[in-house]
Structure 1
Amino acid sequence: MANKLKGAALAFYHSTYEPALALALGRRRVAGFECAAVGGPPEIAIHPHRVAGCGPDCGFDGGERRRVVARYAVKARGEGAWDQTLGRIARRLSLTPMAIDLDRFVSAAAFDAAVKRRSSRTLPKIRKAAKMGYVAERFSVHAHVYDIHAVRTSMRSRAAGPVLDYWFLKPEDVAKPAGRPATWRMPKCPRHWTLWWGVFLPEPGHVQGAVKVDRRLVAYMKLMRIGDVLHYTDLMGHGEHLGHGVMNLLHDAVIRWLIESGEPLAEGVRVVLYGAAEHGGEGLLTWKKRAGFEPIRLILAPAPDR
């Protein structure tokens, strides 16, 4: 029931409310960033499509990935006056993606320096969380269904408003719980995949259903790779642990993995996308700014010949 209610609410929100939100808040939200002084958000061409190496099990053709592209990217326009006019209208009615351009950072240290320029408090929060024993890593959603349920029902309201999950979500709505210890699986396509990352605290004896896991999941993030874009979706922390910097720790771990790991799953990711400038309140926008995100216009490149 919770998933059906959420689906109906999101369909209305995306098709009707978000264009109005873009008109009402877009320019004002962008004004607090450096790009406002140089003509607005920079533009980056993205390449979300399938390519020759994707293979038959590639996940790009799934509807969710296509919806993300349609929601956050605008199509390239020609040079003619009419095309330019249509482009301006499309941008005014479109959300302003909040993203990180990884091409700007040759190392994780370079990214840390950029974050420090935005806020002197973010990096100390990450170090504090690590000292408290929190650890961020990939996991199987089936192995921590009950912990995810606890996270999602830990607060009645969050930055984006009331949380329907608080009243309606059941553990079985999250995923099918594992009946034995489970680990994350390697995706079949390196360019189109979904992975879960979480923040854990050691807790001997902690269980998920009948399965002993000896650690508690206190924050999580669902990552969706769409070509050279990595989309943060379903990002949430338990209300009792948010004050310990767990979300900063999780974000930092993912960025370091993308920049430094050299894994095929991370290679080729240029843009890290986390919603839009118009989403949520000023508190969420401030968090994104301090985490290194900035307004960027995503331009959909033509699909390649395969």
Structure 2
Amino acid sequence: MTLAKSLTNQLHKSLDPWLSVTRKARLRDFGLKPDQILPIAHLEPEAPQRCVHPLCSHIISDARRFHERNAPRSGLRRWTVPTAMLLDLDRFPTSDSYIRAVAKRSHGNIVRASKKAARLGVSCTPIQAESYTASIAAIAASKRFRSGGPVLSAWFGVGPNLVDTLAPPSAPSCSSHWTLTWGAFIQDEDGERLIAYISLRRVGNMCRTHEIMGHGDYLKTGAVKLLFLEVARWLTDRQDPQVQGLRWLMYGTMEHGGAGLHEWKRLLCFEPANLKFVPG
């Protein structure tokens, strides 16, 4: 992790408690009251079966610490804990049912934007993130401010000697614990160019968005919208062994980010919920 990226992450974490003041207004967007009890998502790190891969114990421990930090609190402490934004994949028996739900909630805008990106030649496919370090750094540095706040690499530059090796992705050793990345590409005079990417991290029956970012010069193409819908299609089609047994998709928290990010999550049918970690 670069120094700029590390500082950006620390800045976002420090702001989370202050951003909780937006909770009341944002809960109203879902027809909820501030003191209303939210649904609880039971997160099972060993689902659908107990893992036999020794390296996965580190992933499970990291997930436990993450969810304990974001577990519901009582009294005044509950206002310092951000609210998870979750998509219940069990609500959608097929990918088409999810796309229809997004189209209805967004009045067709997100689906139309994704179709525009497809007409412009944007294609989406799994990638090996480590094989696109230069392109990912360029994407991050293409905007000085994003919905989560300032991007320090855009102000102070990216690390030197970054090169895209373009190595193809490989399947994870464990289908229940992984970090996978999808990328959106467009053809230009130099060949295919990575213009957006989404990284997901799975632990048992839940995966969460680890990173989502699009290049500033290509945001109006609809590439990020197309990419997200293609990833959601992969998840809800449930054909790949790597996504079988998944129940929840988490996209950050309700309080984090500006109004635009909050509305984006709402249009994608994410809902506020509390997390409960169920030990294996």
Q: Secondary structure at the match of 1:200?
A: strand
Total equivalences in the alignment:
278
> Aligned equivalents of 2:163 and 2:144: distance in 1?
24
**Within the alignment, does 1:193 sit opposite 2:193 as a pair?**
no
Aligned to 2:248: 271
> Aligned equivalents of 1:185 and 1:172: distance in 2?
26
**Within the alignment, does 1:42 sit opposite 2:76 as a pair?**
no
Per-residue CA distance 1:123-149 (angstroms, 9 max, x = gap):
111111111111111011233222112
The code of the aligned residue for 1:3 comes to: T
Aligned to 1:33: 30
Instruction: Please give the TM-score of this superposition, normalised by the length of structure 1.
Output: 0.81
Aligned to 1:237: 214
> Aligned equivalents of 1:263 and 1:89: distance in 2?
43
Aligned to 1:287: 264
The code of the aligned residue for 1:93 comes to: T
Q: What displacement does 1:17 show?
A: 3.6
Q: What displacement does 1:224 show?
A: 0.8
**Within the alignment, does 1:223 sit opposite 2:200 as a pair?**
yes
The code of the aligned residue for 1:199 comes to: A
- CA 1:141–1:64: 2 relative to 1, 3 Å: same
Q: What displacement does 1:286 show?
A: 0.9
> Aligned equivalents of 1:156 and 1:225: distance in 2?
29
Q: What displacement does 1:100 show?
A: 0.5
Answer yes or no: is the 8 Å Cα contact 2:113–2:225 preserved in 1: yes
Structure 2 portions without partners, runs of 5+? none
Instruction: State the superposition RMSD in angstroms.
Output: 2.6
> Aligned equivalents of 2:266 and 2:135: distance in 1?
29
**Within the alignment, does 1:10 sit opposite 2:14 as a pair?**
no
Counting aligned pairs with the same residue, the percent is: 31
> Aligned equivalents of 2:141 and 2:24: distance in 1?
34
Q: Name the larger-Rg structure.
A: 1
Per-residue CA distance 1:200-229 (angstroms, 9 max, x = gap):
11246x3xxxxxxx3100001111112211
Aligned to 1:99: 86
Per-residue CA distance 1:104-124 (angstroms, 9 max, x = gap):
111112112221221111111
- CA 1:67–1:37: 2 relative to 1, 3 Å: closer
- CA 1:165–1:9: 2 relative to 1, 3 Å: closer
> Aligned equivalents of 1:245 and 1:146: distance in 2?
22
1:258 pairs, out of 219, 231, 235, with: 235
> Aligned equivalents of 1:93 and 1:37: distance in 2?
14
Instruction: Please give the TM-score of this superposition, normalised by the length of structure 2.
Output: 0.88
